[in-house]
Amino acid sequence: MRLSVTDRCNLRCFYCSPGRDFVFIPPSEVLSYEEFLRLARLSLEIGVTRFRITGGEPLVRKGLAGFIRSLVELKGTGDIALTTNGILLRDNLDALWESGLRRINISLDSLDPHAYGEITGGGNLQNVLDAIDGALEKGFSPVKINAVLLKGKNDDLSPFVALASEKPVHVRFIELMDFSPNQGYFVSELEALARLARFGRPEEAAAPEGAGPARYFTFPGMKGTIGFISPYSDHFCASCNRLRISADGRLLPCLFSGWSVDLKKMLRSGTDDGSLKAALRDALSRKPRRREEATAGERGNGLRTIGG
């Protein structure tokens, strides 16, 4: 279960932007931590055991470490992970570790300071690099690096290969989603694999902890791995086990889905636990076997509201 705790973000990545000023969800319309915890408890009761905290950028929401601690303490919780852009991570590592969090995904689309600033709308790369080192030093494992492939921006993969060679991190290249406003930058997994050939013959590697859709590879002497998440070149719908709850309480069975159920309305109108669990099960039953089966529809402002 992916819980998007906010639609706010401290970066403005151009492939996430809808090409206009963001219209943020009013604070009163964002689920409270107590509401998220109730939904998490009910999810546990129907068999969900793993949770990922996403955004927007989750670390811009106050009290996140305390929320994670409460989530960890729920009976039956198996695994908690956090996806962050890393800008605020270094200063929050101690609190996150004390909350019980052990797994972190860091979004990092370039290791070149100029390109990183251009892609993110002015982000400071050094903050993210310091956060990666700090997370490794603290003992977080696995530390995964998510890079959206962008033609002409970051499709020289050598800096990422060097990063995974030097540090025990798991770099995953992600194909650009088709609801990004910048489709001219799309790079397929096949193209990216071809670019890796210059480094030798990649060997398939075991996936790090965390049930996910990525395929992983390694090269001799590499401390980490290189992976691919390819919803277009190699769709994984038939084995996908994710549900998503957006910051404004919409439950989605698929990242591409235009269908959702308004859990916030149910929560705030006094709906009982049984009916809420029925809604969760209904969303599971609507998961598509192929991406094309997901209903096209209004997705708000895209990844920022869905939770990636």
Q: What is the pLDDT of residues 113-164, one digit of tens each?
A: 999 999 999 999 999 999 999 999 999 999 999 999 999 999 899 999 999 9
The CA–CA distances, whole Å, from 303 to 7, 21, 134, 140 equal: 9, 15, 27, 25
Q: What is the pLDDT of residues 6-39, one digit of tens each?
A: 999 999 998 886 555 667 899 999 999 999 999 9
Alpha-carbon gap, residue 249 to 2, rounded angstroms:
12
Q: What is the pLDDT of residues 58-91, one digit of tens each?
A: 999 999 999 999 999 999 999 999 999 999 999 9
What percent of the chain lies above the pLDDT cut of 90? 67
Residue 100 has pLDDT above 70, yes or no: yes
What percent of the chain lies above the pLDDT cut of 70? 86
The CA–CA distances, whole Å, from 270 to 27, 35, 276 equal: 20, 12, 10
Alpha-carbon gap, residue 164 to 146, rounded angstroms:
12
Q: Name the pTM for this structure.
A: 0.91
Structural domains of the chain ordered from first start: 2-306 (3.20.20.70)
Distance between the two ends of the chain, CA-based, in angstroms? 12
Among 169, 168, 86, CA closest to 127: 86
What type of residue is 82?
Answer: L
